[in-house]
Amino acid sequence: EEGVFDQFNSLLRRQVRRQEGREAEPSACVIDSQSIKTSTNVPASGQGVDAGKKIVGRKRSIVIDTVGLLLAVLVTAASVQDSVAGQALIEKVAAEHPTVRKTWVDGGYRQYLVEHAATLGIDMHIVRRDPAARGFTALPRRWTVERTLGWLMNHRRLARDYEAHPHRSEAMVHLAMINLMTRRLTAESTPSWRGT
Q: Which residues contact 95 (CB under 8 A, 6 or more apart)?
A: none
What is the average pLDDT across 155-166?
91
Domains of the chain in start order, with CATH, are 2-129+138-181 (3.30.420.10)
Q: Which own/partner pairs from 134-141 qualify as long-range (CB within 8 Å, at least 24 positions apart)?
A: 139/106, 141/30, 141/66, 141/104
Predicted confidence (pLDDT) at residue 194 exceeds the cutoff of 80: no
Helix or strand (DSSP H, E) at 99? none
Would you report the helix, strand and coil content of the chain in percent, each value rounded to 5?
Answer: 40, 20, 35
pLDDT in tens, 30-78: 999 999 999 988 888 889 999 888 899 999 999 999 999 999 999 999 9
Predicted confidence (pLDDT) at residue 195 exceeds the cutoff of 70: no
What is the average pLDDT across 96-117?
92
| Reported pTM | 0.88
pLDDT in tens, 127-154: 887 778 777 777 778 889 999 999 999 9
Alpha helices in the chain (DSSP H): 2-19, 82-96, 111-119, 143-153, 166-186
Binning pLDDT at 50, 70 and 90, where does residue 190 land? low
- Residues 36/59/142/64 CA torsion (nearest 10 deg): -110
